[in-house]
Amino acid sequence: MSGSTRRAVIASGAGAAVAGAAAGLAYAARPSAAAASPAAGGGGAGADAGIVAFRGERQAGITTAAQDRLHLVALDVVTDDPDRLRDLLTRWTRAAERMTYGAEAAPGGVVGGGPWKVPEDTGEALDLAPGHLTVTIGYGPTLFDERFGLADRRPEALRDLPAFRGDDLDPATSGGDIVIQACSDDPQVAVHAVRNLVRLGFGVVAVRWSQLGFGRTSSTSRSQATPRNMFGFKDGTANITAEDAAALDEHVWVAPEDVAGTAEWLAGGTYLVARRIRMHIEVWDRTPLMEQEQVFGRDKRVGAPLGGTDEFEEPDFTRLGTDGMPRIPATSHIQLAHHSRLGGVRILRRGYNFTDGTDGQGHLDAGLFFIAFMRDAHRQFVPMQRALARADALNEYVEHTGSALFACPPGLGPDDDWGSQLFS
Amino acid sequence: MIARPPLRVVALIAAPAALALGACSGATTSDAASGTSGGAITVTATDTTCEVSRTEAPAGRVEFTVTNTGSKVNEFYVYAEGDRILGEVENIAPGLTRTFHVELAEPGTYETACKPGMVGDGIRAPFTITGEAAAPRSDDENLTAATTEYQRYVASQADAFLAGTSEFVALVKAGKVDEAKALYPTARSSWERIEPVAESFGDLDPKIDGRAEVEAEGMEFTGFHRLERDLWETGLQPDSAAMADRLLADVTELVTRAKAVELNPLQLANGSKALLDEIATGKITGEEERYSHTDLWDFEANVEGSTAAIAALRPYLATADPALVATIDERGKALSDLLETYREGDGFVLYTDLTPQDVKKLTTALDAFSEPVATVAGVVARG
């Protein structure tokens, strides 16, 4: 990155902080919303009124301190008219930006149209705080087929993930032309955002699948504590954080040289890998503690690597137990997924716990909705998942039931929108 | 894919921008010269204040020039009673000036509002329109013609419904099960085409079109679906003939009433949407024809009825919102074309033959058509 670019980033960052603080005044003046301010998931900027800047060098919702709630939707484009698609992307930009301010999807969208018009905003987020809403967009490999004249703009690395051992993927909950990830401290705010964007898209896109997540499973900022997954463990402790710019540049952001030529639109963007990982909760729950800890390679109470005492200490894979066996088993999740075992490969994890009710047999349909951002899924996620699929002791308790890969463009400048960004 | 004429593409792209401006207001950036008599009213918006240079104007076109001197993105609104928006300009970034106009033809009190940060009620102030009201708009001839034309359609469908029902009833009473089953879905089609009108008679609807669940409400299970059950599930019952007679009596009564109904244009628009809602909640789910599974016949009839109401409004809509008409035409054709792929002989495949993927395709096409149809009422209300 050149010096001038970095300065520009710092300057725009400062501007965002000022805008955020100013917005705080307006927010405080709204009596109906004052009580709803959530303490959790802060952007690390103190009193920010719950507004995460929509525009900037990167899209929000990637290094943004992980909010607690997720509504992610994958859509298929149902028109073959590129102008319709581009127009929708432009309209989505406007509505998404408005909603991140806590505003209606359109001016006066709830009642301003008068009694005879269909309201342009569905209304369930009216008077709610913005809740650090972020709306992040990405494009799947199928969007770059022959339909929209985008074939030569497909980044080389935007191609289907290979099959992995043990996969049980449902095509109906995998893939998709477009993804929209909405995250917020408030589930109603996230659902409202997706609902209103989907609504704008009828006739142009149709929902392929969607996923709600009720609790973050990763920290993307050092200011956040590591949360627990549905197995009760702290996982992803070694995540890349927003504060680690060098690691982000190396492992998360697509560099211009990665996409030289007609795929340059993705420079500064990233890839999103989504995996719906169903957990066999009931089987796990009747597993003794020692086995659970050996599966993860971590202590359950504090999250320290086995044999260690602190969650954030580096795992020592050479340490032996009193039985002469490695303290952290070679098949443990922590060892197989560790960057030292993967040639230095790292990813930015940003997943969510989910429960989709029960499965009809009286068992929880629950698990981890794995989301991770990276510079090249085929060089990062694929070797990592191959290693896990081959040997991870956790495989006995989990099943991958959905999978998708999307390319997320970089952030938007003041006058850009998603349509112009993708098509010109 | 067949290449479309370029003109049409242009019209489609232009549509959202035209809609965003609303019927009677428009916004431009400040460099456009303002030439309204009396000059534009200037508005200076900060993060905490909203200064409007004049709070009174004569009836007619009023122009506002809004400057955001604050640090937050701002918006400016003109409201009628009940927070109905008559004009607005959004996304005024700090330091930017934007001009827009709004038609305020009726003398009275309105409200202006700046909305720093784009949220909340905004900083409100009263705004008065003085002078004489602009001449009341005469009823649009096209709208008057629309109701006349649609009432003719209702009457013709009502007649066809009575004829079809009479024939169906005769077959049931003669014990001709196969012929009655063959006629059942088409005899109902006329009903399905005018369902919102027919359903407006709350006492007759459950007698003619009720499901078995009406018994839970203490009513007798009668009408088409009772005979559907007899024909497909249980075989004709001792009282099937009597049920057939009652159906004919109820339908006769309904037809008389339906032909006397007077509709206004808004009811046409809402009826058009209601027919599509019927599909979404009753037909696409396979709920309506649970014994015969002839739901796609009803599906088609609902779409035809919806399209007929839009057709009656078409001369009005063609002027009021041509882009909307183009979208409705395109998506209506896509839906009909898709439905056509499920045709089998004179009718359709049964609902039980549809795969989940088929149902999803139909749902997607129906959603696409329903969205623009739902906005017709808003356009008609402006007329």
DSSP string across A144-177: GSTTTT-GGG--TT-SPPPP-TT----GGGS--S
pLDDT at A23 > cutoff 60: no
Lowest-pLDDT range of A41-55, A123-137, A222-236, A285-299: A41-55
B229: phi then psi, degrees, rounded to nearest 5:
-65, -45
Which residues of B fall within a CB distance of 8 Å from A113?
Answer: 84-85, 378
- Report how far apart the first and last C-alpha atoms of chain A are (Å, whole number): 24
Helix axes B141-173, B240-260, angle to 10 degrees: 170
Partners of B91 on chain A (C-beta within 8 Å) are 94
R_g over Cα of chain B = 27
pLDDT at B103: 85
Give A105's contacts in chain B (Cβ within 8 Å).
none
Contact: A87, B372; criterion CB under 8 Å:
no
List the single residue in A22, A84, A113 with the smallest CB-CB distance to B12.
A84
Select the residue of A19, A29, A206 nearest B120 (Cβ to Cβ): A29
Residue type, B218: G
Q: Which of A218-227, B160-169, B238-247, B352-361 has the lowest mean pLDDT?
A: A218-227
Q: Which of A98, A113, A203 sits opposite B371 (nearest CB)?
A: A203
Percent of chain B with pLDDT over 70: 88
Asked if residues A168 and A138 have their Cβ atoms less than 8 Å apart, the reply is no
- Sequence-separated (6 or more) residues with CB below 8 Å from residue B273: B306, B370, B373, B374, B376, B377
pLDDT at A385: 95
What is the C-alpha separation between A21 and A124, in angstroms, rounded? 26
Q: Which residue in chain B is spatially nearest to A118 when comparing CA positions?
A: B375
CA neighbor of B251 nearest in space, from B222, B220, B212, B292: B222
Summarised one tens digit per residue, pLDDT across range A181-227 is: 999 999 999 999 999 999 999 999 999 999 999 999 999 988 888 89
- Average pLDDT value for residue range B357-382: 93
Whole-number pLDDT of residue B262? 87
Residue B137's pLDDT is 52
**Does this complex have an ipTM over 0.85?**
no
* Contacts for B176 with CB less than 8 Å, ≥ 6 apart: none
Mean pLDDT of chain A, nearest integer: 88
Quote the distance between the C-alpha of residue B138 and its chain's center.
24
Residue-level pLDDT at B39: 79
Record: contact A206-B367, CB cut-off 8 A: yes
Q: Which residues contact A117 (CB under 8 A, 6 or more apart)?
A: B375, B377, B378, B381
pLDDT > 50? residue B287: yes
**Tens digits of residue pLDDT in B204-253:** 999 999 999 989 888 999 999 999 999 999 999 999 999 999 999 999 99
A274 has pLDDT over 70: yes
**Interface residue ranges in chain A relative to chain B, Cβ cutoff 8 Å:** 18-19, 22-23, 25-27, 29-30, 33, 78, 80-81, 83-84, 87, 91, 94, 98, 101-103, 106-108, 111-118, 199, 202-204, 206, 414
Q: Which of A314, A316, A337 is nearest to A327 (CA)?
A: A316
Distance from CA of A234 to the nearest CA of B (A): 38
A98 neighbourhood in chain B, CB within 8 Å: 90, 118
Distance CA A86, CA A219 (A): 34
Residue ranges with strand state E in B47-118: 50-52, 56-58, 60-68, 74-80, 84-92, 97-104, 108-114
Q: How far is CA A387 from the centre of its chain?
A: 22
The mean-pLDDT minimum among A210-219, B50-59, B88-97 falls in B88-97
**Three-state secondary-structure class, residue B176:** coil
Distance CA B314, CA B143 (A): 9
Count A/B contacts: CB-CB distance under 8 Å.
113
- Cα separation values, A184 from A50, A128, A293, B8, Å: 9, 12, 31, 40
pLDDT tier, B38 (very low <50, low <70, confident <90, very high otherwise): low
Which of B74, B81, B118 to mutate: most A Cβ within 10 Å?
B118
The predicted structure's pLDDT at residue B197: 84
Phi, psi (deg, nearest 5) at residue A209: -160, 165
